[in-house]
A and B are shown apart, each in its own frame.
Chain A
């Protein structure tokens, strides 16, 4: 185990694994976002613009 952590050559696997992991997260988020309803997006993006007494 220690030998593996310290010296083994992980380079080839790491680059692919990192990309796969991130791309998985990215893809799921992208699909989620693409499926959001327009009406809901409009409502959410206007939350900061709602009036209060300072306006």
Chain B
């Protein structure tokens, strides 16, 4: 027997796959249960129970983080580890790293489940975790990446199947997004201020937020689709060629689309336009991928009726198509004017998460469990019942949110008398008009959760007492090594150098002035002619470079990173440069006093941004309802920015001075006393708990380091300043018949709310210089 014909058997590490699968089901149940609770709270304020750790503002971040990072995260890791080992015919490189990855991730989730209800929060959506947990996430993600790429290095299959490409894009992009959006300066072990503020923070947040959806909830699941769907259907993917186009188009386009979350805001218009245009272009690759998935079932459609795995996959991919149709639609500026800040967005997100993520997870679990525990699925009937409960639940939920969102958008924007008067001047009218739909949404959520309980029960009965079994595969003892090209070889070659030169010249041409722009144009022409001539004379087959690239994971990964990050660089770098206090136009925010800053931290802690925006759009409805539209300079000192993404209650950007302080006092104690029909929770603890003044010196010092123009104040001066302002508010309240000690949190919060919208005008001569 020759060395090349000798075979060895490799046993896969399926232990960690089982661990991630079980963790995903467990955290899925927790996350969905919290989802049902917060949905109920929107239908009935009493479900907040007047308890701080059970209020909507604190539980909603727990729900989103649990379902994204705990449920889908664990599911994604299970799918990636299972499929990658088989696609590259190698066991995971390190059992230790695999265990560290699993237990580290669960420890972070437990940390999040404790800290978020306690109100320890960064105040940015899907990025709420406190900074020590942020560091832990980054470390565990590096462990994951290390284990993954080390496995690729040890692979016995030279080619990388397209699913592995999607995993590579996921690992690299999530790492960059997460780190940049979580850059913070700590003020204590549990609190920090983001490095970016105002418009910068908004842009970085939605660059992250949108691409968390893209690269955490979409690309890894597409990789899973490209592996598990052919397995379940017993036939190869409909078109491998289409999957390649799907991959490159998607990773190139997705990163540019983030600003569509900030349409009609004070974000520079060119960024909004880029966000909209790239979102529209996403239609094509998304639908290409969806069709590729569905057409993989060609000749196997009869199985869809009987096989719950295929049923879940077919519905999941269909929801991918629906969500990726709706996403670009909502990114059209005029449509967004209606849909943004409304429940329509919530419905869109849930058709993606419940339909695409949840159903793909269910299909994958039903496929994997019998193989991982070496026993047939306990009950196909239960799995089918899960499918129908889940499907009806999603449709109920999504349809309720569509109707609710469009109703809210229409009512809040409606005007009469030639557009000079609001038809529904009281915000609460839109709340009460959609109340029945809140109940329907909660019912849809309960049905979906009930289906998932059936899945948990079914898998438990399948696995209980069964013998776990690890998969294995035979590979040749000596595998031909792929032709190595190294990192330098990935970049220092004609196609890449010509491409980079072309992009550089295009930027000079587009962004430069006068001679620079002229040089850019001539550079473009020279590069194109140079590349064509080079190829003509040398007769080089540049495609060979690409073939080799597909067998070399490191340069492939780096080039993927370049493709993914171009959009981020183009959008974010210029905006980082512009957020200077004297570069922001005609108005500039007045920094908060120490007491107001303390009040703002309470606002962030209670998660008020989950229901209230602080951004008035240049739309008739917004301006008539809330006042002049928001300017870019009005929030430059806000770390974090609080523009929000949903208006369950009204916008607060110009709340300061709109009502007397006693109005806020009564409103925070019992919103219904002021506004009948309000669904806002009561905040009784704010009237009891003292304001954390001791933390202010450190917080102000950090704010100064972030560029907020505070004078240097000693701890004693800060204390004096806080007391004086708090006393003024306490006396104002007392005179209005509402007595409260000056050191209570409610006083600091009222001070903050009364400051909202206060800005100074910058002299025209100063703005003209820029």
Contacts and interface: CB of A to CB of B under 8 A. Distances in A.
Contact of B277 (A1, A18, A30): A18
Given A11-B269, A47-B87, A29 B248 contact: yes
A-B CB proximity, top 7 nearest = A10-B270, A45-B236, A45-B240, A54-B471, A52-B473, A54-B371, A33-B241
B432 interface: no
Contact of B585 (A6, A14, A54): A6
A44 B240 contact: yes
Nearest to B82: A54
B278 A48 contact: no
Interface string B458-495: 00000000000101110000000000000000000000
Interface in B232-264: 234-237, 240-242, 244-245, 248-249, 252-253, 256
Interface string B677-702: 00000000000000000000000000
B268 A14 contact: no
A46 to B, nearest CB: 5
Contacts of B240: 41, 44-45
B578 A44 contact: no
B583 A52 contact: no
A46 B236 contact: yes
Contacts of A11: 269-270, 273
Given A18-B277, A41-B240, A2 B161 contact: no
Contact of A5 (B230, B281, B577): B577
Interface centre among A1, A3, A9, A21 (most CB of B within 10 A): A21
B546 interface: yes
Contact of A49 (B231, B245, B471): B231
A33 B240 CA distance: 9
Contact of A26 (B230, B242, B249): B249
Contacts of A32: 244, 543, 546
B510 interface: yes
Contacts of B249: 22, 25-26, 29
B620 interface: no
Nearest to B199: A6
A2 B581 CA distance: 12
Interface string A3-23: 101111111011101110110
B87 A3 contact: no
Contacts of A52: 12, 86, 471-473
A20 B127 CA distance: 34
B563 to A, nearest CB: 8
Interface string B508-536: 00100000000000000000000000000
A15 B273 contact: yes
B305 interface: no
Nearest to B238: A45
Given A33-B244, A54-B371, A48 B83 contact: yes
A44 B227 CA distance: 12
B230 A48 contact: yes
A29 B244 contact: yes
Nearest to A53: B472
10 contacts: A14-B277, A18-B256, A18-B278, A19-B281, A22-B253, A29-B248, A29-B249, A48-B237, A52-B473, A53-B469
Nearest to A26: B249
A26 B83 CA distance: 28
A41 B241 contact: yes
B196 to A, nearest CB: 16
Contact of A48 (B227, B245, B632): B227
Interface centre among A25, A43, A48 (most CB of B within 10 A): A48
A6 B578 contact: yes
Interface size class of B (residues with CB under 8 A): 35 or more
Given A2-B577, A5-B577, A33-B244, 15 more contacts: A2-B578, A2-B770, A8-B270, A11-B270, A11-B273, A18-B274, A19-B277, A26-B245, A33-B241, A36-B241, A47-B157, A48-B83, A49-B231, A50-B473, A54-B469
A1 B281 contact: no
Nearest to B243: A45
Nearest to A22: B281
A49 B563 CA distance: 30
Contacts of B235: 49
A51 B290 CA distance: 26
B25 interface: no
A29 B242 CA distance: 10
A13 B543 CA distance: 32
B471 to A, nearest CB: 4
A4 to B, nearest CB: 8
A40 B270 CA distance: 43
B574 interface: yes
Given A35-B543, A48-B227, A48-B230, A3 B245 contact: no
B163 interface: yes
Given A3-B770, A18-B281, A32-B244, A47 B578 contact: no
Contacts of A1: 577
A49 B770 contact: no
B379 interface: no
B415 interface: no
A15 B277 CA distance: 7
B159 interface: yes
B268 A33 contact: no
A52 B575 CA distance: 51
A14 B273 contact: yes
A22 to B, nearest CB: 5
Contact of B574 (A5, A9, A18, A48): A5
A33 B270 contact: no
A41 B577 CA distance: 46
Contacts of B163: 48
A45 B237 contact: yes
B89 to A, nearest CB: 8
B331 to A, nearest CB: 13
Interface centre among B241, B269, B574, B580 (most CB of A within 10 A): B241
A6 B161 contact: no
Given A15-B277, A48-B230, A29 B578 contact: no
